[in-house]
Chain A
Amino acid sequence: MSEDPTGLRREDVVYVARLARLDLSDDEVELFTGQLRTVLDHAADVASLDLSHLEPSSHPIALENVLRPDEPRPSLDRDEVLAAAPLVEDHRFRVPRIGGEAP
């Protein structure tokens, strides 16, 4: 798989996996590189179209900002929400240290 019109390289897959917080084995990198190339090859039909006269559409309907009256109303039960969390301490989500902070 040396020549490929999409130009997707092994390094790209490794880089994208890191952005997406996924850890891939060498075999998975190999497999996904080939499979993603196949999909991107297929997408070459749209990549090559001249559509500069068209605006991109992000949604099928025109989105409007929707506001509701600023009135108090019930929200989710805190204990019920926290019951679904993997680790809780003192009514808060507990997570490992972030970055290089001291523990």
Chain B
Amino acid sequence: MTATALSLAAAIRSGQRSARETVDEALAAVAAGDGDINAFLTVLPDEARAAADAVDATVAAGNDPGPLAGVPVALKDNLCTRGAVTTCGSRILEGWRPPYDATVVEALRAAGAIALGKTNMDEFAMGSSTENSAFGPTRNPRHSGKVPGGSSGGSAAAVAAGFTPLGLGSDTGGSIRQPAALCGVVGMKPTYGRVSRYGLVAFASSLDQIGPFATTVEDAALLFDVLAGHDPCDSTSLPSLPEPTLTRVHDGVEGIRVGVCRDLVDGCAPDVVARVQEAADALAGAGAKVEDVSVPEFGYGLSAYYLIAPAEASSNLARYDGVRYGLRVDGDDAAAMNTATRTAGFGAEVKRRIMLGTYALSAGYYDAYYAQAQRVRTLVMRAFDRAYESFDVLLGATAPTTAFDLGAKVDDPMAMYMNDVCTIPSNLSGHPAVSVPFGTGADGLPVGVQVLAPALQEALLFRVARVVEVHAPTGASA
């Protein structure tokens, strides 16, 4: 499926094509191509066809089917779908059917979108390659020997492979943007609180945020506008958007101050550095005021993140105790049952992070590790504030390299964590950021350029991203 969501929805809304044929084409593409990629853990053909028929009936009756009418969407498998299996890529939730829909799933349905299926991910979103899934890795659609990135690798791959024009992921330390970069699609993390987390299975609650995958910046803005909004079911939810971002995507960058953040560029591979510089030059050519800026505090982000996120995860994942849902392995008493269940149900990376977090929170180490990491978070937030006194947006790489080989980093957690070094600062600060495909590396694989903006500045973020997209080297990563 090569059409954009915008053009598909327009054709379906006007009756030029049906939602049913659109969904049937997407299902056929998955059936034909996903055996090699493993983007989907669960496909929902019956539900998708029924939803498509309902959209077509709405159009036939002369009513408004919504801005995403009939558009198939791939949902990361940590988004709750009522009655449809939701595993988080974990044995401990294998076969679990949630009793409710995530707020974003309801928002998609209300907009006429079709949930085509649930996508593969690193277990509980812990990973940067989708190799930590209990149900086998996803392969990069651009090169079958490479990882798609992670943790939302299944949704990124589904969009990159052309199975669906849109996907949803979650981004705790870069889990939307990094796989978007490695697969050559657009991936965006909204401002913390912009999109409801209700029904997103929690990993690190102060960092998690749901966001869109798309093939174009316009489509990402279209989907973001549907997702964003206040939700009384999420106590961290912000007020609704004052206006849609889509209408401003083409406003250009004349006079916009762009800071090329050296700390998010210079440590990257030479071909990645070169693409970021070309994107900066393109923005300057389009009328932006482009200058280098250094924010050395970002260098502490990785360490702070890998204390804060595991600490929150160790608390959030305490709920998997074999009592209310998911796996149970019997034991003589409740504690033995809890331990047997968690030991059998969690994979190695999840255990590692639970233990790291438990340690960072334990008596004697709390101040040295967890509280100190929270102070670094303050440091990073203040550094952002200072940078945004001089700049409207920042520019950097999304990931330090192009997609790496399957298996290359699975046995070296620290090497895997380094993939997140450019994306983590925006999670710590809660700011929005987007990865835009921009040419390829020396190996011919996609490179992503990252645009970062202050809190609530998604419209500006998409404007700048659109100009980057327009100037991306042609033919590459297509």
Contacts and interface: CB of A to CB of B under 8 A. Distances in A.
Interface stretch (B249-257, B317-325, B392-400): B317-325
A68 B428 CA distance: 29
Given A23-B340, A60-B192, A96-B330, A51 B372 contact: yes
B376 A49 contact: yes
B99 A57 contact: no
B332 A96 contact: yes
B358 interface: yes
B104 to A, nearest CB: 18
A16 B327 CA distance: 22
B236 A63 contact: yes
A54 B314 contact: no
Contacts, number: 172
Interface string B80-119: 0000000000000000111110000000000000000000
A46 B206 contact: no
Interface string A38-79: 111011011101010011111111010010100000001100
B303 A95 contact: no
Contacts of A38: 413-414
Given A22-B343, A46-B304, A99 B325 contact: no
A56 B355 contact: no
Interface string B304-318: 101100000010000
A83 to B, nearest CB: 8
Query: For this complex, into which size category does the number of interface residues on chain B fall?
Result: 35 or more
B193 A61 contact: yes
A97 to B, nearest CB: 5
Given A32-B355, A84-B96, A84-B324, A42 B379 contact: no
A8 B368 CA distance: 13
A96 B334 contact: yes
A95 B334 contact: yes
Most buried by B among A13, A54, A83: A54
10 contacts: A21-B321, A21-B335, A22-B343, A22-B346, A23-B339, A39-B414, A66-B232, A84-B96, A86-B323, A95-B323
Given A16-B362, A98-B334, 17 more contacts: A16-B359, A21-B335, A21-B339, A21-B342, A36-B356, A46-B304, A57-B375, A57-B381, A58-B206, A58-B374, A60-B193, A61-B192, A76-B100, A81-B99, A84-B326, A85-B323, A95-B334
